[in-house]
Amino acid sequence: MNLSQIEFDVAREVINIGLAKAADALSMFVGEQVILRGFDLSIEQISADLPISKKEGREITILTTELRGEMKGVCFFILNKKERHKFLKQTLPDTISPESDEYYAMGKAFLLELDNIISASVVTQLSNLLKLNIHGYVPEHKVVGKENLNPYLNEKIGLFSHLLYFRVSMTLRKSEVSPEFIWCLDEKYLQSIVRFIEQPGNDRIMHRLQSSVKPRPQEADHYQSPLNIVLVDDSVVALEMFKKLVVSTGHEVVATYPSGDDFIADLDNVNRMADLIIMDINLKGSINGIQAMSLYREKFETPFMYITAHNHLDIFKIAKRTLPWAFLSKPVQINFLRNQLELFQYNYKAGRRKDDAQAEQLKRLEAENASLRKKNELLEIGMEELSSTNQHLISATFREREMKEELANLLKLLEETKSTLEVQNSKIKESIQYSYNIQQALNTNSAHFKTMFPSSFIYYQPKDVVSGDFPWSLQMEEYHYFAAVDCTGHGVPGAMLAIMSNVILKYLCTDVTHSTDQILNDLHAHIVHNLKQESEDIRINDGLDIALCRLNTKTHHLQFSGAHLPLFLQREGKIEIIRGDKMPIGGTQYKNRTSFTAHDIDLEAGDRVFIFSDGLLDQFGEESNRKFGRKRTIEKLEQYAGESMGVVEQKFIADWSAWKGDSKQIDDVLLIGVEYGKA
C-alpha cells in the first residue's frame, strides 16, 4: 500500500500522541513515571502470506481488543514470556511467588487493564482526529506457542485491509520491554486519513501533530546538577508518592517533614541542605504551610514552591504575599513537575550572579533615593541653592522615567504569567478529561449490563469529572456478578482507588467457587495489603463500601454480601431491606471486625433488586435542606412498582433531581436496578 509522506506522518503522530496520553494515565495507575514510545512503524496492505507478528519466543501472550463503531478493526498487544515476567515483576507485590496460580491470575488481570488503557488512549486519538464514533470492546487474553502465533492472528483479522505494525518501548523503574502493538483496520481508516488531510482548515492541527510528540528527557540537562529538595506534607502516603515523582525527574529529596511544627524546629538544617522547598499549604497542626514559610523567610531566603489540592482564590491571594516561586496543584502530573523544576533550575541558578548584580544596583538606587529625599528636605527649608534645586529636578525626572519603564516591564511580566497559567489550567483540565475517558472504558455501562439483565438500568452521576463510585459487573459461566462500589472520597483520589478496586474485584471473581462473603473478605485483605495499612508507620484508613450480588442463572439463586451498603428486594410491590455488615472494606480502625455475611435469596419471576451508594440517600434538598433518605427512596420505588424498569428509572431520577434542585451535589451517586425474569 503506497502512502504519501504526509499520510504516513499523520498516522504515526496519532499513535505517538495516544501513547503519550497512555503514559500519563499509567503513571497515575502504578504511582510512578512510565515512559512509552512507538518505533518500527509500518503500514501495509494485508495479504494471505503476510506474517502479522515478528515476535520471538516459545510462549507468547496476546491481548486482543476488538474495535467497534463507524470503523471496524482489531488490536493485538503481543509480548513474550520474558517481557511478561519483567513487567509483572515491577508491578505485582513481592510476596506473590511467580510460580503460583495467584501470580498468573493477578498478572492476567493487570495485563488486561494495561492493554485497555493503552488501546483506549490510541482509539480516543483516532476518534477525535478523524471524527469517527469508535470504541474498543472488552480485551481478551490468550497464551500460545510461537508456531501458533500467526495462525491465531490470521483467524482474527477477517476482512480487514490495512495493517499498522509498531513496537512499544515501555520503561518502568528503569526496566524496559518492547511489546508489539498491531492494528488491523478496514478500508475506512485510509479513507478517513486522506479526507482529514484534504479538509480545509486542518493545516494548524497537522502542524501541531507533527510537532507535538518529542522524546521525553530521562534526566536533568547535562550542564545542571540535581537540585536538593525538601518536601513538607502532612499525608505520609502523599509525601512518599511525591518523593518518588521528584526522584524520577532526576533530582534529590534530602529531607521530608510531616508537619509545619517539625519543619520550623529544623530551620537551620533546612537552610543548609535545600536548594528548593516544596510546601503543602493545608498542613494540619498548629501552623499551616503559609505560616511556616512566613516564619522561615524571616531568617532565610531559600526559594520555595507551594503545593495544594484546593485552588481557592482567597488562599492564593494570601499565599502570594510570601513570594513563592510557583504553585503546584494536586495531583501533580510528572511532566508538569519536571518542567517546573527545570525552569526553576535554569532561571534561578543560571541567573544568580545577575540577581547579585541587580541587588547591588538596588542598593545604589536606594542610596540615591535617600540622597534625593535629603535634598527635598533642604529645598523645603530654603537651604539649597538654585543650582542644587535644578539638579534635583533633573535627577527626579530621570528617575521617574526609569520607574515608568520598570512599571511597563512589570505589566508585561504579569501578562506573560497570566498566559502561562491559562495554558497550565487547560492542560490540567485536559488530563482530568482523559482520566475520565479511561475510567469510563473500565466501568460497566448500561448497554453492556443489559446484555446480562435485559430489564435493568444504571444511574451513575459523579460529583466531579472522575469518580470514586463505580458500577461493576462480570459474567463467569452460569454466574452473573454485579455490584455498586463506593470508594473513599471522590474526584481524582477516589478514582485512583476505584481503578485498583476494579482490577482486584475482577481477579477475585474469576474463581466461581468463592461465595460473596469470601470475596469481600479477600477484597478487604488485598486493599489492606496494597495500601500498606497494616504498617504502624502509615496511618491511612481509605477503603470502600460495596453491595455485591451473584446470580446463578440455572438455579435462580441470588447471593448478596454488603459492606455498609444494603440490598432492596422488591416482591409484589413491597420493599424488603437486606442489610450489609456494618464494616467497610479496607482500613484497620475496626479492631473487632468479623467475616462478612452471605445472604441467600431464591428469586421469583418479577422480583426486583436495587443496590446503590450512600450519595443517593445523603443528598440535601434545595427547599427543605433535609436528606433524600431511605424512607423516601422506598416510597418512590413502591409507588412505581407497576411500571417497567425503564419508566422506574425515568421517574425516580426526575423525582430525585427535583428534590435536589439547585443545591450542590455532595457526593458521587450510583443506583442499579435489576428485574428478574423479564426481557
CA dist 341 → 248, 275, 304 (Å) = 12, 11, 11
Contact 238, 229 (CB under 8 A): no
Mean pLDDT of 294-302: 90
Higher pLDDT, residue 272 or 238: 272
Residue 525 and residue 543 in one domain: yes
What pLDDT score does 419 carry? 81
pLDDT band at 589 (very low <50, low <70, confident <90, very high): confident
Name the DSSP letter for residue 533. T
What pLDDT score does 635 carry? 95
Query: Could you tell me if residue 223 is inside a domain?
Result: no
Mean pLDDT of 93-98: 80
What pLDDT score does 217 carry? 40
What pLDDT score does 549 carry? 98
22-54: per-residue pLDDT in tens? 787 777 666 667 787 777 777 777 776 667 778
CATH number at residue 204: 3.40.1550.10
Residue 346 and residue 359 in one domain: no
What pLDDT score does 74 carry? 86
What pLDDT score does 532 carry? 85
Contact 21, 122 (CB under 8 A): no
Residue 337 and residue 401 in one domain: no
What pLDDT score does 3 carry? 66
Query: Could you tell me if residue 412 is inside a domain?
Result: yes
Higher pLDDT, residue 573 or 434: 573
pLDDT band at 380 (very low <50, low <70, confident <90, very high): low
pLDDT band at 285 (very low <50, low <70, confident <90, very high): confident
What pLDDT score does 372 carry? 62
CATH number at residue 564: 3.60.40.10
Q: Burial, 303: exposed, middle or buried (Cβ in 10 Å; 0-12, 13-18, 19+)?
A: middle
Higher pLDDT, residue 187 or 389: 187
What pLDDT score does 340 carry? 84
Which pairs count as long-range contacts for 592-598, CB under 8 Å and 24+ apart, including other chains?
A: 595/517, 595/521, 596/516, 596/517, 596/520, 596/521, 596/524, 596/561, 596/562, 596/563, 597/517, 597/561, 598/515, 598/516, 598/517, 598/559, 598/560, 598/561
Contact 17, 212 (CB under 8 A): yes
CATH number at residue 262: 3.40.50.2300
Name the DSSP letter for residue 455. S
Report the range out of 57-71, 147-161, 471-485 with the highest average pLDDT: 471-485
Host domain of residue 183: 5-212
Name the DSSP letter for residue 585. B
Residue 254 and residue 385 in one domain: no
Query: Could you tell me if residue 435 is inside a domain?
Result: no
Residue 260 and residue 398 in one domain: no
103 pLDDT above the threshold of 80: yes
Residue 524 and residue 579 in one domain: yes
What pLDDT score does 493 carry? 75
Higher pLDDT, residue 473 or 102: 473
What pLDDT score does 475 carry? 93
204 pLDDT above the threshold of 60: no
Contact 49, 154 (CB under 8 A): no
CA dist 238 → 31, 228, 548, 663 (Å) = 10, 19, 30, 32
Residue 182 and residue 47 in one domain: yes
Residue 96 and residue 169 in one domain: yes
Residue 635 and residue 670 in one domain: yes
Higher pLDDT, residue 649 or 197: 649
Domain end among 186, 212, 238:
212
Residue 330 and residue 357 in one domain: no
| Strand ranges (E), 281-438 | 304-308, 326-329
Higher pLDDT, residue 555 or 314: 555
Domain end among 377, 394, 427:
427
Residue 316: strand, helix, or coil: helix
pLDDT band at 369 (very low <50, low <70, confident <90, very high): low
243-274: per-residue pLDDT in tens? 888 988 889 999 999 999 999 999 999 999 99
Say what percent of the chain tops pLDDT 90.
Answer: 33
206-229: per-residue pLDDT in tens? 655 555 444 434 333 433 578 999
Contact 645, 457 (CB under 8 A): yes
What pLDDT score does 21 carry? 80
What pLDDT score does 223 carry? 38
Residue 203: strand, helix, or coil: helix
Domain end among 179, 212, 245:
212
Query: Could you tell me if residue 222 is inside a domain?
Result: no
Query: Could you tell me if residue 218 is inside a domain?
Result: no
What pLDDT score does 634 carry? 96
Give 608's strand partners: 570, 675
Say what percent of the chain tops pLDDT 70.
Answer: 83
- The whole-chain average pLDDT of the chain stands at 82
Residue 269 and residue 338 in one domain: yes
Give 39's strand partners: 167
What pLDDT score does 656 carry? 94
Separation CA 647–CA 670 (nearest Å)? 17
Query: Could you tell me if residue 601 is inside a domain?
Result: yes
Residue 149 and residue 284 in one domain: no
Which pairs count as long-range contacts for 393-402, CB under 8 Å and 24+ apart, including other chains?
A: 395/368, 396/372, 399/368, 399/369, 399/372
Query: Could you tell me if residue 25 is inside a domain?
Result: yes
Report the range out of 314-323, 381-390, 606-615 with the highest average pLDDT: 606-615
Query: Could you tell me if residue 415 is inside a domain?
Result: yes
- Which pTM was predicted? 0.44
Domains held by the chain: number: 4
64 pLDDT above the threshold of 50: yes
